[in-house]
Chains A and B, each alone.
Chain A
Amino acid sequence: MISLVRAESLKLRSTRTAIGMGIAAALVTVVPAVLLIAFLPKGTIGGDEARSILIAGSSLVTYIVLVFGILGMTGEYRHGTITYTYLAAPRRGRVMVVKLVVYALVGCLAMLLALLLANLIGAIGLPIRGVSYPTPDGAALADYARQIVTAGLITAFGVALGALFRAQVVTVAGTLIWALMVEPLIVAFKPHIGTWLPFNVFSQVISLRIGDTGATTDGLSRPEAFLVSIGYIAAVSVLAVFISMRRDVT
């Protein structure tokens, strides 16, 4: 197990994918926060807006870690390294569990850093615009914690989807099309179904308390959304482990 964790961490450190994803996550955090702070008319920034500015980029970070998870798994099939992985560790279930856990942790870490970065920008930028930086209170910290955990779960979700579908480009494109186009359409036209779809459920977990638009009256409560998220991720992960154990590697 330890050696598998070491191998995963070396895999992450020895290519540019992780760095690229880190840069992308930093950009989607910094750019919206800076733009909002710089260009919002002075009177319109109150405490609540200030707080939402700070997490403006974080929903994009969840898509980045999702793609990161998919790339991490499908890359093994694409480059044929899965053969070496399974030769060294023929108990494939363990390999998959380690990968899911390692990627979940990386996803959490990415969101944690994104939130820290956003708060740093807020603490510096807001006072320049004459708005005081809202020091995170207990509720804000709870929001952050939810976002961090959800980012980890979504990264693992990406790994599991990658293990199921294997084809890199198809999986990335298919997942993004589903999350960004198909689900929103279903949510718009069949909200009672849409409420239960995975990416909508994830966003209900992390939807903001302030100026909340995510959870509508017929939406799920936070604990419900969280449980359903866990259910989705557990189901897809178990399926991924199960299928990986049975599949021929040729």
Chain B
Amino acid sequence: MAVIEAEHLSKRFGKKVLAVDDVSFSIQPGTITGFLGPNGAGKTTTLRMIVDLVRPTGGSVRVLGGRYRDLARPTTRVGALLDASGFHPGRSGANALRVVAASAGISYDRVDAALEMVELEGAARRAVKGYSTGMKQRLALAAALLGDPEVLLLDEPANGLDPEGIRWLRTFLRARAAEGRTVLVSSHVLAEVEQTVDDILIISKARLLAQGPISELTRTAQPVVRVRSPQAEKLEGLLIARGAAVNRLHDALAIRGPGSAEVGEVALAGGVVLHELLTEQPSLEDLFLQIAGTRREP
């Protein structure tokens, strides 16, 4: 049974903004799914719809078999770290979490456990207004973990974390998945995502463009042929004339479309000397840029 199941999910804000457009996906237990998309693509809106903070204008989403609001003690089942949520600046970190725990009927013992998990014990008695960006992010993460939930929804959890924190987060998420828990995590740090997630969802301009295991998606993606040549400019012209997509930086070319054999033949026919010719499996970043495009609508 899918842990999260979205069916034709749509959200329109007012008349003009279609934030999420007919998005369907399902997330299996024990997996980490990366939720990727350019700014304004609809990631946060989708995550907020899963936990009933935003009402869909079309379609539906189910989590753990039902609507979020019908779950008994929902924060003990689903933990969420969401953009644009926050803490009262005058409260201490520990009190901020106690407030969250109290509303959810979670014991205060969990507050200390969660603070320890994110390594904030030292600052627990200090007011949140004195926290750094990364400390606030850790506190938000602690709030999501408070109920020891089986599902985690994390909206850009790496925001503001230092390299050590990011590495900790990666290990932490892997360990959660190994316990059979399910994670849906949005992120812009693709290199991080690549090392952490099993599956990805790619959303752009409100529409879901790709979903599936990361290995499969990168395999089906177009490979990139890289070439170094003293006559790079000439080769670039020849390839573009054949309809290839080419990026040139000085003597290096990155070519999409033709395979390495074809590039080599074009070079020979054109009398172009090659210093290097190799095929590269696209990284998640290449894949992402291919699918979601680099340019935003004006």
Which stretch in B30-38, B85-93, B173-181 binds the other chain? Answer: B85-93
Q: Are B75 and A79 in contact (CB under 8 A)?
A: no
Take A87-B51, A90-B74, A250-B53 as given contacts and tell me if A80 and B84 are in contact as well, using a CB distance cutoff of 8 Å.
yes
> Does B105 sit within 8 A of A, measured CB to CB?
yes
Q: Are B100 and A84 in contact (CB under 8 A)?
A: yes
> Does A6 sit within 8 A of B, measured CB to CB?
yes
Query: Which residues 85-99 of A sit at the B interface, judged by CB distance below 8 A?
Result: 85-91
Place the interface of chain A in its size category: 20 to 34
Contact of B102 among A10, A15, A81 (CB under 8 A): A10
Q: Are A250 and B74 in contact (CB under 8 A)?
A: no
Q: Are A84 and B53 in contact (CB under 8 A)?
A: no
> Does A7 sit within 8 A of B, measured CB to CB?
yes
Q: Which residues of A contact B53 (CB under 8 A)?
A: 83, 86-87, 248-250
Q: Which residues of B contact A81 (CB under 8 A)?
A: 85-88, 99
Query: Which residues 94-113 of B sit at the A interface, judged by CB distance below 8 A?
Result: 95-96, 98-100, 102-105
Place the interface of chain B in its size category: 35 or more
Q: Which residues of A contact B189 (CB under 8 A)?
A: none
Please list the residues of chain A having a beta carbon within 8 angstroms of any beta carbon in chain B: 3-4, 6-7, 10-11, 14-17, 75, 79-81, 83-91, 246, 248-250
- The interface residues of chain A, by DSSP majority, are classed as helix
Take A80-B85, A80-B86 as given contacts and tell me if A248 and B54 are in contact as well, using a CB distance cutoff of 8 Å.
yes
A-B pairs with beta carbons under 8 Å apart, 21 shown? A3-B102, A4-B103, A7-B99, A11-B88, A14-B92, A14-B98, A79-B86, A80-B84, A80-B85, A81-B86, A81-B87, A81-B99, A83-B85, A87-B53, A87-B74, A87-B104, A88-B75, A88-B100, A88-B103, A90-B51, A248-B13
Chain A, residue nearest B127 (CB): A15
